[in-house]
Structure 1
Amino acid sequence: MDIFIIEDDKALSREISLTLSKWGYSACEVNDFENITNEVLQCNPKLILMDVNLPCYDGFYWCSQIRNFMKVPIIFISSRDNDMDIIMSINMGGDDYITKPFSPQILVAKIQAILRRTYSYNNDLKSEIIKFKDITLNIVDGKIYFKDENTELTKNELKIMKILMENQEKIVSRDEIIEELWDTDEFISENTLTVNVNRLRKKLDSIGINDFIETKKGQGYIIR
């Protein structure tokens, strides 16, 4: 599982990353403290380790921003150990709080416990974020992201993008998409699907995603 480390002490960040690697986790380390939310989207982690004292904005701010589009568990790590900071971390959406200095074994134990609680009891849990090349689809906020641009999708457009991105480089039949859109076996106009796809293509074009959805005549649609 990917763990995203948001820590401005490079030595500590590297130490944490190496510790996680020894335990079989894949770690991403933040590079741009002004665009943390974009880096979170790119990494699509299963858990975030967040320092409180950060350049530009503090960890509480970034936690609240991440909570706008992702439910990923967040553990705060900080040298600040007063009750108000711990309460603030919970109010901002944090899942745990570890004070520095801390034992690597305790950190790993807390990570394992939170990952078990969050993911192990739901094997059917689907990712809230689907990535394909430089394109990111966020199921929670209903937006598609490309580089520094994004656009909001309607309910139907989101469903179309979701099924296409879950079947990357595979043809998805029109019948499959219609069933996903309306969740019903009753007849739906083929023209309605065509209209939705055309509107979606225009939105994608507006943020620089050109010729993304390809029509396979008599078969359906494919992205690649």
Structure 2
Amino acid sequence: MYSVMIIEDDKKITELIKNALERYGYKTYVVEDFSNIKGEFVKNSPKLVLMDINLPFYDGFYWCRDIRSVSNVPIIFISARDSDMDQVMAIENGGDDYITKPFSYEVLIAKIKGVIRRVYGSYSESSHNEVYEVNDLFIYMKQNIVEYQGKKIELSKNEFILLHSLLKNVNKIVSRETLLEELWSDIEFVDDNTLSVNITRLRKRLEEVGIVDCIETKRGQGYRLISNWSK
């Protein structure tokens, strides 16, 4: 079953599209927070996006570019705008297709099926999970890159492994032994101070994107990543 994210601020149109898609067996996600569309996209990992142009806060072109920074998922624009320039801008900003309102739901379904066949014909489910997000902190699994509030940095291998391990257990204590095993296969010959040094380095790197004092040292236990950086 393929999942479709609907990004449309007209609730009546949203409900009609949602019902039509579900009749054809698609799973749907409806965006509620139009100020954090990228965050909702990462959280739900849809296989296709239906995007209106006229949206609160920022237009669909902006959000299309934002999604393109983390994914190549197909995006179909649906809009009352029918000018050639709008369609050109949709494609140039990363869209895959464009449907003008009002439209036939049969045509919409046909376009969705066509895009899915083209993009996912030989699709591997495991190859798409490339982005992890907690409280607007994005980590790019295949690039060792961290992004927060528009700032991106590339972490070292050890820094990235530590951050990912802490994020998977956010607000929970992760033991020193667990973190050491994540970093090195044979911890018997690793100086315990080496972990402290790597944690210190990770703290400094996170400060570069504006995240300060979020890794707590729990004496005799390990470390805890506290999710208060978005406050």
- Fold equivalence (TM over 0.5): yes
C-alpha distance 150-84 of structure 1, shift in aligned 2 (>3 A): closer
Match of 1:22 in 2: 23
* Partners of 1:150 and 1:207 within 8 A in 2: no
Deviation at 1:107, TM superposition (A): 1.8
Match of 2:98 in 1: 97
Provide structure 2 residue ranges, at least 5 long, that are not aligned to the other structure. Answer: 226-231
C-alpha distance 222-125 of structure 1, shift in aligned 2 (>3 A): farther
Deviation at 1:75, TM superposition (A): 0.7
Deviation at 1:222, TM superposition (A): 10
C-alpha distance in structure 2 between counterparts of 1:116 and 1:163, whole Å: 36
C-alpha distance 128-173 of structure 1, shift in aligned 2 (>3 A): same
* Partners of 2:70 and 2:131 within 8 A in 1: no
C-alpha distance in structure 2 between counterparts of 1:92 and 1:11, whole Å: 27
C-alpha distance in structure 2 between counterparts of 1:106 and 1:13, whole Å: 16
Match of 2:42 in 1: 41
Match of 2:65 in 1: 64
* Partners of 2:203 and 2:212 within 8 A in 1: no
C-alpha distance in structure 1 between counterparts of 2:154 and 2:44, whole Å: 22
Which deviates further from its counterpart, 195-204 or 160-169?
160-169
Deviation at 1:162, TM superposition (A): 4.6
Aligned length: 211
C-alpha distance in structure 1 between counterparts of 2:112 and 2:118, whole Å: 10
- Percent of aligned positions with the same letter in both sequences? 40
C-alpha distance in structure 1 between counterparts of 2:116 and 2:217, whole Å: 35
* Partners of 1:76 and 1:89 within 8 A in 2: yes
Deviation at 1:69, TM superposition (A): 2.9
Which deviates further from its counterpart, 19-28 or 94-103?
19-28
Is 1:127 the equivalent of 2:132? no
Match of 1:6 in 2: 7
Is 1:142 the equivalent of 2:135? no
C-alpha distance 192-95 of structure 1, shift in aligned 2 (>3 A): farther
C-alpha distance in structure 2 between counterparts of 1:25 and 1:212, whole Å: 45
- TM-score w.r.t. the length of structure 1 is 0.69
Which deviates further from its counterpart, 152-161 or 1-10?
152-161
Deviation at 1:4, TM superposition (A): 1.7
Deviation at 1:50, TM superposition (A): 0.6
* Partners of 2:53 and 2:60 within 8 A in 1: yes
Deviation at 1:119, TM superposition (A): 3.4
Deviation at 1:95, TM superposition (A): 0.8
- TM-score w.r.t. the length of structure 2 is 0.67
C-alpha distance in structure 2 between counterparts of 1:135 and 1:143, whole Å: 11
* Partners of 1:68 and 1:141 within 8 A in 2: no
